Structure 1
């Protein structure tokens, strides 16, 4: 597919162009598409590069080719919105051509939008917190999920924190999944009250890591695995093998647009078995 203004620099400090972004998404599509297929997308676009204004767009961009898959979703307040879905490599490249640097996905799929297939815990540290604390928190979330019969998967976000994801069978609606995630988060925070909190307001966090479950709400989105973040160096949201949380060298932005393809070439996608690990939400 021909790119428009392929030499446009999107990451000025790194010299990364739109062509580089498109080539990255084409190269990782084999690992990324299984995690984005059939999921409504929110697009985070930077038409003037990451130093310019961010556009957060739900509606599929105008002029989208017919072959880009899409789904129309009713709004709770009335009306509807037509989302694109990244179901193949060509769509990822086309989205890069729209300056969509970062893709965010629903926690449910188009055929059953009311039934999420993953529960997400977003571990969001305040500025200045050692990443070792985030790793410890992720391990604690994993232990709690296993105690409940769920299988945890981890991903560094490419920004500041870690997502811990439990794949689910599609038997419960968003409200129930959100309520269950909230109860689990409260239990986790009570086990380490000096390090973790569920308080949304920053002034009440007192330097602790937020265990955020808001991503589990209907129509909320989460950063897609292998999505590029609009930050210097072009870090990538990178799925982990669980044991990598033990690595003291781990950082949220450890892998980038330039280094992530080699990681996939060497070890493949650590989340390749995520769908097969789906469990029923516990009572």
Structure 2
């Protein structure tokens, strides 16, 4: 078993330690994935994931002993991380936190070597931490195998957002459901964005009370799909597009087109590190990041719908 391997990432050569270490034990299909596989995936998908990470504080989900071992949710950047990795100091209630920022392929590969399986990103950027440029609706089904309910909820939410003239794009989470991402112009603060997201979710749940709910407590949801807007807060994070999830088979959170939502074989774990790069090359969110909108006119339209 090789102890180290050298890989090229942009202008840097990086050492991968214990590349043959199994991070994802064999799943039901008998497929296992090593740290070397994780590094190779992130190196290949870097042109597609780095634009979604660039300039944003990250929370790192690390699994040094594999996904069956302890999980570490890392905010502060350790002192031993290389100086060339970008950092940003952001405020918290009792001081500050120094988060890592991933602006290039080398940083992404370095994180994979640190057994960072999943980078979770802020919805705002460094220097504008209080002004999110993304709004995320998390569609969480009552059971993990109820993806038809997720598909139905996504279409209902898209229809409402279209009425509000807000572009939206779906992403499989690699776990249970879907995220619907709305690009913003960054003019509103988190409180305003979260309040708007709550109003949208409440309006949709009121229109479909037998299917959808905004109840935060599981015992209050019954068999209804949960419209989760809790990620839209300061210092909250959402799984990044093309990030690997710490689940058997190494599923990936993958942006999809609205047409792909009609695929009967689609579910939250449709893509893995074995084929997610192929999906990335289809550019399913083409043009989305340049279409950030203000929520002010959308809020007025929503008030009109609510009567």
Q: TM-score range by the shorter chain?
A: over 0.9
Match of 1:68 in 2: 85
How many aligned residue pairs are there?
280
Q: How does 1:1-283 map to 2 (within 5 A)?
A: 1-13=14-26, 14-75=31-92, 77-127=93-143, 130-265=146-281, 267=282, 269-281=283-295, 282-283=298-299
User: CA separation in 2, counterparts of 1:26 and 1:196?
Assistant: 39
Q: Is the 8 A contact 2:137 2:179 kept in 1?
A: yes
Q: Is the 8 A contact 2:32 2:249 kept in 1?
A: no
Q: Is the 8 A contact 1:129 1:207 kept in 2?
A: no
TM-score by length of structure 1 reads: 0.96
* Structure 1, unaligned runs of 5 or more: none
User: CA separation in 2, counterparts of 1:111 and 1:273?
Assistant: 24
CA shift for structure 1 position 129: 5.2
Match of 2:3 in 1: none
User: CA separation in 2, counterparts of 1:64 and 1:274?
Assistant: 33
CA shift for structure 1 position 8: 1.1
Q: Is the 8 A contact 1:69 1:86 kept in 2?
A: yes
RMSD: 1.1
User: CA separation in 2, counterparts of 1:27 and 1:136?
Assistant: 33
* Structure 2, unaligned runs of 5 or more: 1-13, 300-307
Give per-residue Cα distances to partners, 1:164-191, cap 9 Å, x unaligned.
Answer: 0110001100000000000000011112
SS at match of 2:111: helix
Give per-residue Cα distances to partners, 1:246-281, cap 9 Å, x unaligned.
Answer: 22211000000011122234x2x2124222121111
SS at match of 2:247: coil
SS at match of 1:111: coil
User: CA separation in 2, counterparts of 1:190 and 1:129?
Assistant: 25
User: CA separation in 1, counterparts of 2:144 and 2:209?
Assistant: 18
Structure 1 runs (4+) deviating above 6 angstroms are none
Larger radius of gyration: 2
Q: Is the 8 A contact 1:10 1:49 kept in 2?
A: yes
Q: Is the 8 A contact 1:228 1:256 kept in 2?
A: yes
SS at match of 2:259: helix
User: CA separation in 2, counterparts of 1:119 and 1:128?
Assistant: 24
Give per-residue Cα distances to partners, 1:106-141, cap 9 Å, x unaligned.
Answer: 000112111000111000012255211100101111
User: CA separation in 2, counterparts of 1:186 and 1:135?
Assistant: 19
